[in-house]
Structure 1
Amino acid sequence: MTIRRRDLLVGVAGAGMCAFSPGFTAPLAARTHTKRSSGGSLQTYRRGFDNQRIPDLGNGTFLNPVVSGDRPDPAILKDGADYYMTFSTFDAYPGLTIWHSRDLVNWRPLEAALTRNIGSVWAPSLHKDKGRYLLYIPVKAKPQNDIFVAWADDITGPWSDPIPLGLPSHIDPCHAVAEDGSRWLFLSGGDRVRLSDDNLSLAGAVEHVYDPWRYPSDWIVEGFSPEGPKIHHVGGWYYMITAVGGTAGPPTGHMVIAARSRSLHGPWEHHPGNPLVRTESVDEAWWSRGHASLVEAPDGSWWSLYHGYENGYWTLGRQCLLDPVEFTPDGWFRMTGGDLSAPIAKPGGGAAVTHGMPLTDNFSAPLALGSKWAFFKPDADEAARATSGNGVLRLKGKGAAPSSGSPLLLTAGDRSYRFECDIELAPGGRAGLILFYDDKLYCGLGFDAERFVTHQYGRERARPANPHGGRMRMRVTNRRHIVTYDTSGDGGKTWHRFDRGMEVSGYHHNVRGDFLMLRPGLYAAGPGEAKFRDFRFTALED
C-alpha cells in the first residue's frame, strides 16, 4: 500500500532548480557510457553538455547522482508542479543557487539567492509559507556563527538581505508549522525554537524536544552528530528525518534515521527500521549517505533526496542522490533503492529533457556568477573584478597566488575531465588554471612573462622558463585523479606537455576538513587584469 496524499510540505527543506534559459535549447547526447562500479554493478550514463554525465537514461529510468559534483545537504521544496532545490555552498559566492525541476531527475540552475559574503554556508533550508519563499542559512563565521533568514516574493528573487536570528550554537535549520498554527525552526541536536508569525525572528528560547535513535556501539562511524532534521506532514503524521553518524570520515558512518508524532510538539517515537539508509561496505557505489528529505513526485509516488560520496571520489564532494520511498500500511516508510548503483524507474516515466548546464564559456555574455562561476571567499566588491563580453573575460589581479586571490571556480561532477583556456597577461601580472580545494590545498599551473609557476599541495614551487611569453593556451587534464598540464603558443595547434604532473586523490575533506570539493578554475594575480578567452570544458569517459 502506498500513501499518495498531497498534504505534505509542512517544513519541507529547501530545494533549488534551474529554469530554462529563454531561447536556449540543447539536445541530449544519444551516446551512453558503460563501466563497472567498484561494487561490480554496471553503470551506464547518458552524456549531455560538454559530454558531462547526466542521470536521465532516456528510457524511463535514471542513474544516480541526479545532481553531480559537490551538492551537499539538499534542501527540496515542492511548489505546485515545480520543484526547487538548493545546497550548501560554503565559501563559494554568489551562493545558494536555486535549481529547478519538473520531474525530480532533470535539474537546471536558476540564479544564486545569496550574493553578500556572510560566512561559510552550511546546510540551508528552503520553504514557502504564507506565499513567501524563505531561506534559512546557517553560517560559520567570525566573530560568531549564526543562522540567517532571507525571503523573496518570487523564487528567482530579488532576495532580501539576510537577517541574523541569533542562534550561534546550532546548524541545519528546518521550518515547520504545527497543528495549532505556530511556526518553528527545528535544529541540530534534537532542538527547536519558536518563530514569529512572519518567520523572520525568534519568538522564544531554544528547547530540547527529541533524543535521536542510537546505533550499536561497535559500528564504525565518525561520531554521533545528530543533525539535518527535516519535518514532513504526511497522512496525519509528522515525520522527523535526521542524520547521525557523522558526515564524512568512514564510509559507513553517515546514516538516515526517522521518528514520528501525531503532533509537532511530540512525543516522538523512533522508526522500528532505523537506520533507513546506511552504507554498510566500502564496496558500495555510494559512501556516507545521509541528510535526507521526503518529497512527493508528480505521479503521487514518494521519494527521498540526500547526499553521498561516490566510491573512491571524495574529491567530488557529496553528490545529490534520489531514492524511491514506499509507505507501509502501519504508517511508516522505507527507502527502496538499495545501494543506488543500478538504474531506477523515473517518477512517472516520461521522456528525457535538458539537464544541467554547459561549463564551457566563450565569454560572449556577462559572466554567469552564481549559476556557473563562483569566487572563493570573496570580498564585498569581488564581482567588480570580473568583466565578461565580446569573447573576453577580464579578471583583475588579486593577491600573489591562488591562496590569496579569490580564484574563480566551477563545480564539475565527472570523475575525469579536461579544461583549457587562452590566457593573456597584463604587464607584470600572473595567471593560470588550477584545481582548487581551498586556500591551503590546490594545484595547477601559472605563468608570468618569463617563467612558469607550479602550484603543488597549496604551495608555489618550481619556476621553469616560459617559452611562450605573455600569452598562451593552457590545458589541464584530470583523469581519475591523475593531473597533467599542456601548453601551447599557437592557439592549441601544437601542445607541449609540462613535465610536472600531480596525483590529487587526497585533495578532500578527510585530509583538509571543511566539506569542500576539488574544483577546476582560473586565477589572476599581481597588477593589471588578465584576459581569458575560449574556456572549454570536456568530460572524459573513463
Structure 2
Amino acid sequence: MKYQNPVISGFHPDPSICKVGEDFYLVTSTFEYFPSVPIFHSKDLVNWKQIGHCLTRDSQLPLHESKSSMGIFAPTIRYNNGKFYMITTNLTIGKNFIVWAENPEGPWSEPIWLDWPGIDPSLLFDEDGKVYLTGTQDIFRGEASGIYQAVINVETGEILTERRLIWQGTGGAHPEGPHLYKIKDHYYLMIAEGGTEYGHMVTMARSKQPFGPFESHPNNPFLTHRSSDSPIQATGHADLVQYIDGSWWTVFLGIRPAPIPFSGKHHHLGRETYLAPVDWNEEGWPVIGAQVELEMDGRTLKLEEKDQLSSKDDFNDANLAFSWNFLRNPSEECWSLTDRPGYLTLYGASTSLNDLGSQAFVGRRQQHFDCKVSTLLEFSPTKDGEEAGLTVFMNERFHYEIALGIRDGVKKVFVRRRIGSLWKVESEHVYTEEAIILNVHADAKNYTFSYQRQDGEAVILGSGECSLLSTEVAGGFTGVYFGLYAAGIRPKSSAPAYFDWFEYSN
C-alpha cells in the first residue's frame, strides 16, 4: 500500500519521534508561535493526529516581543521509565530546557533550565541508566563547530561530566540537529549539515563508545536531495524510529517549492515532515535507497484509514482547537470564546500585524498549495484605524490581508499588501453592513481575495503572489499562516470583532 509525503504538511519542521509500545509520538518546532511544540500521535507512522502541545503556559514559554523565527527551535522527544521528556531551545531568551509529562496530552511540567549552550539539544537514555545530552557548539563563546555531549541528570538538569566535542561532521556547514542512538553494539550519531536550505543533508557516524571516536558513514550524506530535480527539496534534520515489526524508518524535514514552471524556486508552506524507510547493509550502516518521493511504498506498515477532519470551526467549544496558534504570548484581554458564546471575539489593540508585540491574532497553518479559507465576521468599527479581518501571514514584514475597517471616516472592505518596506491598499469598496464573509482562494501562484454578503455572490477585490511570502523572499524558518486578526487604537478597541466561523478546504 502506498502513502503520501509529506505525512504532516505545512509548517512542521525538525520532527522528532519516539515509540511507546505500539504507539508513536512526534513533535516539531514552532519558533514564535504559541502554544508551542505540537505533539502528534500515530499507530502507523503515516496518519498523525495532534493531541496537544508541550508548552502551553507563559511560564514555560516566554516569547514576549520575540523576533520572527526566534523562539522555540528543534525539540527532541524521548520516553523513559513511564515519563515523556521533551528538550528544546528557546532562542528568544537563549536557554535550553526540559519539560516532562506522564501523559503525552499533558499537562507538561515547568521547565528544568539547563546550564548548556548551543541549540538542538537531544537525549539518549542508555541501557546502564546514564543519560546523554547532545547538542551544538556555543557560537557566543567561540567554540569549534561541531557536536558536543555530556552526561546529564534529567530530573535536576545538572550536567554530570565535562562538555566534550564528539564529532565535527563531514565538512558541511552548520552541523546541528544531533541524535544519538544505541543500536546493538554501536552508538550511532545522526546530524544535519549544510544549513536548512537547498544544500541540507543528513549525515551519520558510529562508535563503540558514546563519546567516540566516531567513524563517518562511508556513504555520507545518509540522506539529501541537494542537486536534484525532486519536487521535495532541502531534506534534512532527521530522527530514527523502529516500527512494531522491527523495520526502521526516519522522519525528517523537507520543502516543496511551488510547482510553477520557469518561476525559480520559491516555497511558502514552510518546512514539512516526511517519512522514508531505512534499511541496514551488511556492514551495519543504515541506508536509504532511492530518493524520497511524494508517493512511497508503505512496505510492512499497517496503514490505517485516514481521519476525515472537520474543515469548519464554529468556535462552539470551550477551548480553541489544537490547530490554532497565537503570535507570541497572547494577552487575555485581546481574545475570548465566552464574551459572545459561539464566536471567537478579538479586541484590536494598537499592536498591528507589522509589530513584534502581542497581537489580537489567531491563526492556523496553510497546508496545501490549492485551498480556500473563509470566515464570517461581524464588526462595527467607529474610528479610523479600527479593522478586523483575514490575513495571509508569513511575518511582520510580509503579509496580505482582506479586512473590514474605517478608512478616511468611511467603513470599507479592503485588500492590503505589505512586502518588506513597501505597502499598498490594493483595492477597497464601501461596505455598510455589519456582517461580511471574507475569502482567500490559494493556488500555487496566487492568493485571490474576495468578500460577500451572507446571501450574496462573492466579489473579487484583489490578489497577491505566493512567491512574495516565500522563505526565499521573506526569510525566516516558518511558513504561511491564515490568521483571524483585529487591530485598533490604544489601549484596546471599543469595537469587538466577532468571528462566527472559519472554514479551511482543499
* TM class by smaller structure: 0.7 to 0.9
Supply the distance in 1 between the matched residues of 2:333 and 2:115 (Cα, whole angstroms): 29
Aligned partner of 1:401 in structure 2 is: 352
2:246 to 284, 293, 300: 300
Matches within 5 A, 1:332-351: 332-351=285-304
Q: 1:492 to 1:305 in 2, by over 3 A?
A: farther
Q: 1:427 to 1:506 in 2, by over 3 A?
A: closer
RMSD: 2.1
CA contact (8 A) 1:137 1:147 kept: yes
1:492 Cα deviation from its structure 2 partner: 4.9
The residue matched to 1:316 in structure 2 has which SS? coil
1:312-344 deviation digits (Å, cap 9, x = unpaired):
352011111101100112111101352324432
Supply the distance in 1 between the matched residues of 2:455 and 2:118 (Cα, whole angstroms): 51
Aligned partner of 2:323 in structure 1 is: 372
Aligned partner of 1:73 in structure 2 is: 14
TM-score (norm 1): 0.80
Aligned partner of 1:182 in structure 2 is: 130
2:451 to 487, 495, 513: 487
User: Is residue 286 of structure 2 the alignment partner of residue 286 of structure 1?
Assistant: no
AA of the residue aligned to 2:472: N
Supply the distance in 2 between the matched residues of 1:331 and 1:145 (Cα, whole angstroms): 38
Supply the distance in 1 between the matched residues of 2:251 and 2:154 (Cα, whole angstroms): 29
Matches within 5 A, 1:5-16: none
1:406 Cα deviation from its structure 2 partner: 4.6
Supply the distance in 2 between the matched residues of 1:197 and 1:433 (Cα, whole angstroms): 43
The residue matched to 2:267 in structure 1 has which SS? strand
The residue matched to 1:373 in structure 2 has which SS? coil
1:513 to 453, 459, 475: 475
Unaligned runs of 5+ in 2: 64-70, 137-145, 259-265
AA of the residue aligned to 1:184: Y
2:24 to 71, 79, 83: 83
1:33-69 deviation digits (Å, cap 9, x = unpaired):
xxxxxxxxxxxxxxxxxxxxxxxxxxx2102111111
The residue matched to 2:255 in structure 1 has which SS? strand
Supply the distance in 1 between the matched residues of 2:246 and 2:80 (Cα, whole angstroms): 22
AA of the residue aligned to 1:73: D
Supply the distance in 1 between the matched residues of 2:33 and 2:365 (Cα, whole angstroms): 10
Matches within 5 A, 1:37-436: 60-115=1-56, 116=58, 117-119=61-63, 120-141=71-92, 144-167=93-116, 169-178=117-126, 180-188=128-136, 189-196=146-153, 198=155, 200-214=157-171, 224-248=173-197, 251=198, 253-312=199-258, 314-354=267-307, 357-369=309-321, 371-379=322-330, 381-382=331-332, 385-387=335-337, 390-399=341-350, 401-404=352-355, 405-428=359-382, 429-436=386-393
1:401 Cα deviation from its structure 2 partner: 3.0
CA contact (8 A) 1:284 1:311 kept: no
Aligned partner of 1:475 in structure 2 is: 439
AA of the residue aligned to 1:118: P
AA of the residue aligned to 1:105: V
Q: 1:289 to 1:495 in 2, by over 3 A?
A: same
Q: 1:382 to 1:137 in 2, by over 3 A?
A: farther
1:263 Cα deviation from its structure 2 partner: 1.8
Q: 1:406 to 1:239 in 2, by over 3 A?
A: farther
Supply the distance in 1 between the matched residues of 2:501 and 2:76 (Cα, whole angstroms): 36
1:525 to 487, 492, 497: 487
Supply the distance in 1 between the matched residues of 2:29 and 2:502 (Cα, whole angstroms): 26
The residue matched to 1:506 in structure 2 has which SS? helix
Q: 1:350 to 1:87 in 2, by over 3 A?
A: closer
| Percent of residue pairs bearing the same amino acid type | 27
Supply the distance in 1 between the matched residues of 2:220 and 2:428 (Cα, whole angstroms): 58
CA contact (8 A) 2:360 2:486 kept: no
1:84-140 deviation digits (Å, cap 9, x = unpaired):
001001111011111000010110000111122324100011112232211112011
Aligned partner of 1:57 in structure 2 is: none
Supply the distance in 2 between the matched residues of 1:329 and 1:208 (Cα, whole angstroms): 29
Q: 1:226 to 1:460 in 2, by over 3 A?
A: same
CA contact (8 A) 2:360 2:487 kept: no
Aligned partner of 2:397 in structure 1 is: 440
AA of the residue aligned to 2:413: F
Supply the distance in 1 between the matched residues of 2:19 and 2:345 (Cα, whole angstroms): 39
Supply the distance in 2 between the matched residues of 1:479 and 1:492 (Cα, whole angstroms): 26
Number of residues of Structure 1 aligned to a counterpart in Structure 2: 461
Aligned partner of 1:44 in structure 2 is: none
Supply the distance in 2 between the matched residues of 1:496 and 1:64 (Cα, whole angstroms): 35
Q: 1:180 to 1:363 in 2, by over 3 A?
A: closer
Q: 1:265 to 1:401 in 2, by over 3 A?
A: closer
The residue matched to 1:315 in structure 2 has which SS? coil
1:225 Cα deviation from its structure 2 partner: 0.3
Unaligned runs of 5+ in 1: 1-59, 216-223
CA contact (8 A) 1:304 1:335 kept: no
The residue matched to 1:505 in structure 2 has which SS? helix
1:481 Cα deviation from its structure 2 partner: 3.0
CA contact (8 A) 2:135 2:177 kept: yes
| Runs of 4 or more above 4 Å deviation | none
Supply the distance in 2 between the matched residues of 1:455 and 1:386 (Cα, whole angstroms): 26
Aligned partner of 2:263 in structure 1 is: none
